[in-house]
């Protein structure tokens, strides 16, 4: 991975905006309504998969009208590249015992499906009252395991994307939109 040397260099890595900030806001509000209707007043535990889903989680928890707690897990499969390594490692587990909760996993993107498939298996084995998955982005053309989210906000083509929590080498999470990443950057220092 090339280091980012300037704001110009940072901005030059955005090839094209795929989903605008306004489109994301509208979709998150709709997902919040769906979740609130699904649970109809019953408290839930929203589980964010870090780091990529933290921005989505922050907005989604404000869009949900049922009582909710939040929890965090961290799983890695990219290790600073643009292609999944195929090895999923849980690097931080939940603090909560999920057996007394209606659990909603909040994910940033489903690509191969391996990471989320492993997380769902792990959490189901802990006997939650119910378990659903909501993902910001779905990339079904890359799926290697049979996995489908209960709520998917956007389906995208096989592109490496950044923004709204998604990164490349820890950069770009702060972009308010989803964009295609490009390696073709200026070498400006």
**Nearest residue to 65 (alpha-carbon basis) of 39, 26, 100, 103:** 39
E strands, 37-84, are 44-50, 68-76
Extract the tokens encoding 115: 């990471």
Cis omega (within 30 of 0) on the bond before 51?
Answer: yes
Q: Which residues pair with 131 in a beta bridge?
A: 103
- DSSP strand pairing (44-50 vs 68-76): parallel
Tell me how far apart the alpha carbons of residues 152 and 166 are, in angstroms, rounded to a whole number. 16
User: What number of residues does the chain have?
Assistant: 189
To the query of whether residue 111 is one of the catalytic residues in this protein, the response is yes
Out of 111, 146, 167, 187, the active site residue is 111
CB-side exposure of 21: number of CA atoms within 13 Å?
4
Catalytic residue IDs? 111
């Amino acid at each position: 991975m090339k280091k980012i040397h300037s704001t110009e260099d940072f901005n030059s890595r955005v090839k094209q905006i795929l989903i605008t900030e306004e489109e994301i806001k509208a979709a998150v509000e709709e997902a919040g309504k769906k979740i609130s209707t699904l649970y109809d007043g019953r408290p839930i535990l929203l589980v964010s998969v870090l780091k990529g889903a933290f921005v989505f989680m922050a907005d989604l928890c404000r869009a949900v009208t049922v009582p909710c707690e939040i929890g965090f897990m961290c799983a890695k499969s990219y290790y600073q590249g643009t292609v999944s390594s195929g090895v999923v490692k849980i690097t931080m587990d939940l603090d909560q015992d999920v057996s007394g909760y209606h659990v909603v996993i909040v994910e940033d993107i489903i690509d191969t499906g391996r990471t989320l498939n492993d997380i769902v298996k792990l959490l189901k084995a802990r006997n939650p009252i119910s378990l659903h998955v909501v993902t910001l982005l779905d990339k079904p053309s890359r799926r290697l395991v049979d996995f489908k989210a209960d709520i998917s906000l956007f389906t995208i083509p096989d592109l490496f994307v950044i923004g709204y929590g998604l990164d490349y080498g820890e950069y770009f999470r702060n972009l308010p939109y989803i964009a295609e990443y490009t390696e073709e950057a200026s070498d400006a220092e």
